[in-house]
Chains A and B, each alone.
Chain A
């Protein structure tokens, strides 16, 4: 089949990862505009549930059943199986999420097939038989558009670039048993550990309330958590707060943490240094509370409250609670 493929990522409980619903919507919209075919692919020990969910968004989904995916690290197994079903002579483009699993899959598939990668897509159009992809580079200081030089390629898509929207009609799921030996070196999954408080991946949150050095300590983060809860959002942090051990690394936003694009980014006690800014500057709305009117964040926030977060924060909490009544 020539056309566009969407990688369906599977969560630990066998359901479809949210990023894949967005990638499916992104690729389907592009395929419809370009008059191209689009299909999904899910590789898992039991891919049926995730594939059925992906078919809400796409006309056709291939569910590749691979028992090895249960006991081995997923990305290499999936890359090898996907490489095996792509047809060498047709025009094909793979779309994956720009998270850990999608990036690993993209990197492995790229090396197996020699396909190019356009990473962290923010948008795409179709020109001359292929996607033209809009990306941000140098930590958001430049917006570029790029294309593939050949008829194949892999695009990784940032979370929250589109809102997931089901297709008009539910698609068909075709379940296929994987066959043949796997050749890639074995990486065994020994254990899957679920940690408390990691319910919503921060890069998928619509609202993020983040704290920095100004929060002062783990106790200060309780206020951040309460405000996040009142807004129905997730808690984020700067590298300074993470390095101080106030909050886990998984919640760090910035150059060496996560890149997020929420509807609202509420920055409390965050100066807005460039290393943090690159992780959150594409948020739709940025609101900051900071004592220092000269903090860099005051230059790029939409609204900044000059004040002590331990005075403004509780007042904000009271106001939000009164509103939700």
Chain B
């Protein structure tokens, strides 16, 4: 099987250094980039599928040129190669541009499945996977907790989370699957994997390479604009209770009653 995984480099949540520049865009210099956590689950699912069925995994990212560093981390987990779409004209790209670029990057690649994470830790929109499926004319199987391709029949079955359990969905391949953490914990790159990733191929593509008009994507045609930003209101000081279990439980319940929660 040939599998493409869409991967986004995001600011490291644990760094607490995220901030916006005066133009309202992310200050990338202020914070280290990591592979988006939900994309790691997609990548892990892809690696397991090619282990079971044979084949290769190609990573596709849209990012500034430094995104190749983050891509190496993903390659170290075991992917075969990377495609990095990077172009100065993409600065300030919104969801709509991102979807157009990723769909264009899929053209010319061979694949049975495209896997994407459920959302990203920075924007948390959770809309890119469905959008790419529409533009790439692929069936969308989203919020997957299990992926079962049938390579002979050329179909794929997915368990999709529902409010009361799960739905079993089926479509022809190629298809786009939006992945969740329930697919299994991502592996740590081995030392051998890290060494091997240094020489793996990363193909860099510009908007021109993808045949996209720079005027049709990026900040200049963004469909949304930032009006303002502020730090969230600080929470009130913490009340600390150190007492016997019974007394502490009484105080806790009294606190809930005070706030009219019970």
| A36 interfacial by beta-carbon distance below 8 Å | no
Given B119, B170, B249, which contacts A318 in the complex, CB threshold below 8 Å?
A: B249
Which residues of chain A from 225 to 269 have any CB-CB distance to chain B below 8 Å in the complex?
231, 239, 242-243, 249-250, 252, 255-257, 259, 263-264
Which residues of chain A from 276 to 301 have any CB-CB distance to chain B below 8 Å in the complex?
278, 285-287, 289, 293, 298-301
The contact string, 1 if C-beta is below 8 Å from chain B, for chain A 21-53, is: 000000000000000000000000000000000
| B211 interfacial by beta-carbon distance below 8 Å | no
Chain B residues near A285: list those with CB within 8 A.
256, 259, 261
Query: Once bound together, how far apart are the Cα atoms of A190 and B168, in whole Å?
Result: 5
Query: Once bound together, how far apart are the Cα atoms of A167 and B12, in whole Å?
Result: 44
CB distance from A208 to the nearest CB of B (A): 12
Which residues of chain B from 92 to 149 have any CB-CB distance to chain A below 8 Å in the complex?
94-96, 99, 118-119, 121-135, 137-143, 145
Given B122, B162, B224, which contacts A117 in the complex, CB threshold below 8 Å?
A: B224
Which residues of chain B from 215 to 245 have any CB-CB distance to chain A below 8 Å in the complex?
222-232, 235-236, 238-243, 245
Q: Known A118-B224, A153-B223, A278-B13; judge A190-B157 contact (CB<8 A).
A: yes
Question: In the bound complex, do residue A307 and residue B248 qualify as a contact, i.e. CB atoms below 8 Å apart?
Answer: yes
Q: Known A139-B121, A149-B225, A189-B169; judge A108-B131 contact (CB<8 A).
A: yes
Chain B residues near A105: list those with CB within 8 A.
130
Which residues of chain B from 1 to 57 have any CB-CB distance to chain A below 8 Å in the complex?
11, 13-14, 16, 18-20, 37-38, 41
CB distance from A320 to the nearest CB of B (A): 6
* B interface residues (Cβ-Cβ under 8 A, vs A): 11, 13-14, 16, 18-20, 37-38, 41, 94-96, 99, 118-119, 121-135, 137-143, 145, 157, 160-172, 175, 178, 180-182, 185, 222-232, 235-236, 238-243, 245-246, 248-253, 255-256, 259, 261-262
CB distance from A213 to the nearest CB of B (A): 15
Query: Once bound together, how far apart are the Cα atoms of A144 and B118, in whole Å?
Result: 22
Chain B residues near A98: list those with CB within 8 A.
126
Chain B residues near A302: list those with CB within 8 A.
235-236, 238-239, 255
| A168 interfacial by beta-carbon distance below 8 Å | no
Question: In the bound complex, do residue A316 and residue B253 qualify as a contact, i.e. CB atoms below 8 Å apart?
Answer: yes
Chain B residues near A176: list those with CB within 8 A.
none
Q: Known A142-B18, A142-B231, A256-B37; judge A195-B250 contact (CB<8 A).
A: no
Query: Once bound together, how far apart are the Cα atoms of A125 and B169, in whole Å?
Result: 39
Question: In the bound complex, do residue A146 and residue B226 qualify as a contact, i.e. CB atoms below 8 Å apart?
Answer: yes
CB distance from B244 to the nearest CB of A (A): 8
7 contacts between A and B (CB under 8 A): A79-B130, A111-B133, A142-B232, A148-B224, A149-B222, A184-B139, A305-B248
CB distance from B41 to the nearest CB of A (A): 7
Given A111, A136, A306, which contacts B130 in the complex, CB threshold below 8 Å?
A: A111
| A100 interfacial by beta-carbon distance below 8 Å | yes
CB distance from A167 to the nearest CB of B (A): 25
Question: In the bound complex, do residue A278 and residue B249 qualify as a contact, i.e. CB atoms below 8 Å apart?
Answer: no
Chain B residues near A75: list those with CB within 8 A.
130, 140, 142
Count residues of A near B (Cβ-Cβ below 8 Å). Answer: 100
Chain B residues near A132: list those with CB within 8 A.
227
The 10 closest A-B pairs by CB, nearest first: A116-B223, A107-B130, A107-B127, A111-B131, A315-B249, A119-B125, A195-B165, A111-B134, A249-B182, A103-B126
Nearest B residue to A301 via CB reads B238
Chain B residues near A169: list those with CB within 8 A.
none
Question: In the bound complex, do residue A185 and residue B163 qualify as a contact, i.e. CB atoms below 8 Å apart?
Answer: no
Question: In the bound complex, do residue B229 and residue A136 qualify as a contact, i.e. CB atoms below 8 Å apart?
Answer: no
Nearest B residue to A303 via CB reads B239
Query: Once bound together, how far apart are the Cα atoms of A150 and B223, in whole Å?
Result: 7
Given A17, A117, A249, A318, which contacts B180 in the complex, CB threshold below 8 Å?
A: A249
Q: Known A103-B126, A104-B142; judge A319-B227 contact (CB<8 A).
A: no
Query: Once bound together, how far apart are the Cα atoms of A321 and B205, in whole Å?
Result: 64
Question: In the bound complex, do residue B161 and residue A141 qualify as a contact, i.e. CB atoms below 8 Å apart?
Answer: no
Chain B residues near A12: list those with CB within 8 A.
162-164
Chain B residues near A144: list those with CB within 8 A.
20, 226-229
Question: In the bound complex, do residue B248 and residue A107 qualify as a contact, i.e. CB atoms below 8 Å apart?
Answer: no
Given B123, B135, B138, B140, which contacts A104 in the complex, CB threshold below 8 Å?
A: B140
Q: Known A107-B129, A274-B13; judge A76-B140 contact (CB<8 A).
A: yes
Query: Once bound together, how far apart are the Cα atoms of A236 and B123, in whole Å?
Result: 23
Seed contacts A111-B133, A194-B165; 15 additional CB < 8 Å A-B pairs? A103-B125, A103-B130, A106-B130, A107-B95, A107-B134, A112-B134, A119-B126, A142-B20, A142-B232, A185-B139, A199-B164, A207-B261, A252-B181, A255-B121, A307-B245
CB distance from A287 to the nearest CB of B (A): 6
CB distance from A206 to the nearest CB of B (A): 9
Which residues of chain A from 84 to 102 have any CB-CB distance to chain B below 8 Å in the complex?
98, 100
| A170 interfacial by beta-carbon distance below 8 Å | no
Question: In the bound complex, do residue B96 and residue A114 qualify as a contact, i.e. CB atoms below 8 Å apart?
Answer: yes
Question: In the bound complex, do residue A119 and residue B169 qualify as a contact, i.e. CB atoms below 8 Å apart?
Answer: no
Question: In the bound complex, do residue A323 and residue B262 qualify as a contact, i.e. CB atoms below 8 Å apart?
Answer: yes
Q: Known A117-B224, A186-B171; judge A108-B262 contact (CB<8 A).
A: no
CB distance from B135 to the nearest CB of A (A): 5
Query: Once bound together, how far apart are the Cα atoms of A198 and B164, in whole Å?
Result: 5
Chain B residues near A222: list those with CB within 8 A.
none
Chain B residues near A256: list those with CB within 8 A.
37-38, 41, 118, 180-181
